[in-house]
Amino acid sequence: MPGTPPTRFVYLGPEGTFAEQALRTVPAAERGDRTPARSVGEALDAVRAGEADAALVPLENSIGGAVGVTLDELAEGEPLVITREVILPVEFVLASRAGIALAEVRSVAAHPQASTQCRGWLRDHLPDATVVDVLSNGAAAAGAASGEYDAAICAPIGATRHRLTVLADKIADHPDAVTRFALVSRPGPPPPPTGDDVTSLAVYIAHDRVGALLSVLTEFATRGVNLSRIESRPTGEALGRYVFFLDCTGHVADVRLGEALQGLRRVCADVRFLGSYPRHRWNPAASDRPVPAPAGLSDADYADAAAWLSRLRAGELN
């Protein structure tokens, strides 16, 4: 619905997970309707079917890497586009029902990724506790609330929702871990350029062409467009056939990136545009600033060169 603010949101559920916590940082979602989905595919299909205006799904984690199911879903089926990214610090807590002390915890519910990221803390503080795998951080919190387990490793929002007592916070072994989420909608005009944007693409190379991947990278390098991420996923067609997911600095409206996209169209088997959207500056003090273009390849240099060419074509040689 181009031009219409979204009001119906779906997210990878259940309730009380980092996905819900991330979605609630989006002002429109905090005011709108939020519905959990059982899977990434179900969330995105709800948008495709018009049952929701936008879906929030995980893209990558700084510890676990890319979320393959999300990339696969974006590369296949009816096209969708990313309109916003949300980067959320992953801060696990250990929570229990009221009245249970840390020394009394004998069983801990946790999603496998959560227990893996808190392995050191569990070893040091609960070496004799049994860790039980559950399907989500939300399910862990629900299990602790019902008394099925003594405690849960969960997101802060899960402890709050299930009225659990936090026995310990920030228990992850990597305190700077973050998860990147994407807000995905049906195709429409992208948000206007901000000067600090990301463009995401799914690129299919010609596998019978020598140097095909190098040709893709050259389209960006020769125009000073920085690639911040490149990820390969099998297409499912045959062994050795891959689709490459690229994140690059810039907006589809930018001249340099626009020329790069035209180049990809010429040299690739297929290119799927996954969106141009503002980059989430989650830690401005860190080294997450845009990489400047090399000398001669800035937007100003491109504008000057285009103006010079126009003068030549008009017969003006000075």
Taking only the tens place, the pLDDT of each residue in 168-188 is 999 999 888 889 999 999 999
For residue 5, say if its preceding peptide bond is cis, omega within 30 degrees of 0: no
What residues form DSSP beta bridges with 230?
246
How far is it, in rounded angstroms, from Cα 276 to Cα 191? 7
Q: What's the one-letter identity of residue 268?
A: C
Please list the helix, strand and coil fractions of the chain in percent, rounded to the nearest 5, in that order: 30, 30, 40
pLDDT at 1: 44
Which residues of the chain, if any, have pLDDT below 50?
A: 1-2
Which helix (H) or strand (E) is 109 found in, with range?
strand 107-110
HSE, CB side, 13 Å, CA atoms: give it for residue 302.
16
pLDDT at 230: 92
H-type alpha helices, the chain: 18-23, 27-31, 40-48, 68-75, 112-117, 119-125, 137-146, 156-161, 212-221, 255-267, 299-313
